[in-house]
Structure 1
């Protein structure tokens, strides 16, 4: 039970932190510790680069091409400085991932996990020719990707409706995870009790009644 409570506290913090990820630059900053720098699937071309005008020009060109709103050269330099020194191909990959709503959420066993801050889909095992936007859209309908206007152009009402969708998605997934963990703990406790009664009192156990899933929550997806 203590572990479940810790998970709940951690999830509550993420719920608040992810609210800042509507901002493109905040998403991009999460990739400063991306594990693949050279000789990996995501970076078949690796050319060491220095922080100079040509690099920032490349960043600026890519961001403009991606139509990322309200990003100045000054703020771009601050956001991207930790990423400099990587190959052009990897830089473009990370920029495209941030544009598609992904943030870097590594774990001990999977260091290249990228998660959408909005719909929470997780993808890993990126290939050289993967298009982050395409990989995202073909796996789940995401309210963030479905926006018909730039985020900064949303009205207050549109923003609150968008946030309601994000919160509902987050709470459904978090609740489902906690319920699953709780059910596993209940099953383990029940087994210990049943084994004790069977061995000591010749008890014949009844099969457990399955718990129905909440139909209002979207199914969990990851790849």
Structure 2
């Protein structure tokens, strides 16, 4: 598996994150402008009901319910203090290859943890439904 393919690394670049903020509900005269959101590592991931969902491309933390005065960097740090991207002390362009590879390995850990949590949630939902069906079947037999 190629650890650093273009698809995985394109969001390390500010410009690519910024491009995702088309239709973002906050722009000028706000703290959470598309530019500030992208600088803080966020990408815009709207849904039908929530046009202001943003997710860190690195730690996959999703935040919504943004207010015009919310500072994206502060919000990111307060909701995902362990995110390695928001904790970077230098620009991505200044990282060595070794630092970038280590960073990407951390990102992969976040990605796997997110997938595991999603699988557990799906499994728990299916188990709950199966349990309800078993109980209903037992009640019908009485």
Same fold flag (TM > 0.5): yes
Where does structure 2 lack aligned partners over 5 or more consecutive residues? 1-5
Which one of 152, 159, 164 corresponds to residue 105 of structure 2?
164
Query: 1:195 corresponds to which residue?
Result: 136
Runs of 5+ unmatched residues, structure 1: 1-15, 37-41, 44-87, 203-223
Normalized against structure 2, the TM-score is what?
0.85
Moved over 6 A (4+): none
Post-superposition offset of 1:17: 4.4
Cα offset, 1:146, TM superposition:
1.1
The equivalent position to 1:31 in structure 2, one of 9, 21, 25, is 21
Tell me the TM-score normalized by structure 1. Answer: 0.56
The CA RMSD over aligned residues, in Å, is: 2.1
Choose 1 or 2 for highest CA Rg.
1
Are the structure 2 counterparts of residues 91 and 146 from structure 1 closer, same or farther at C-alpha, using a change threshold of 3 Å?
Answer: closer
Contact 1:18/1:117 (<8 A) preserved = no
Out of 167, 179, 183, the residue aligned to residue 124 of structure 2 is 183
Shift of 1:181: 1.0
Aligned partner of 2:86 in structure 1 is: 145
Mapping 1:115-126, distance limit 5 Å: 115-126=55-66
Q: How many residues of Structure 1 are paired with residues of Structure 2 in the alignment?
A: 136
Say yes or no: does 1:109 pair with 2:49. yes
Partner SS state of residue 43, structure 2: strand
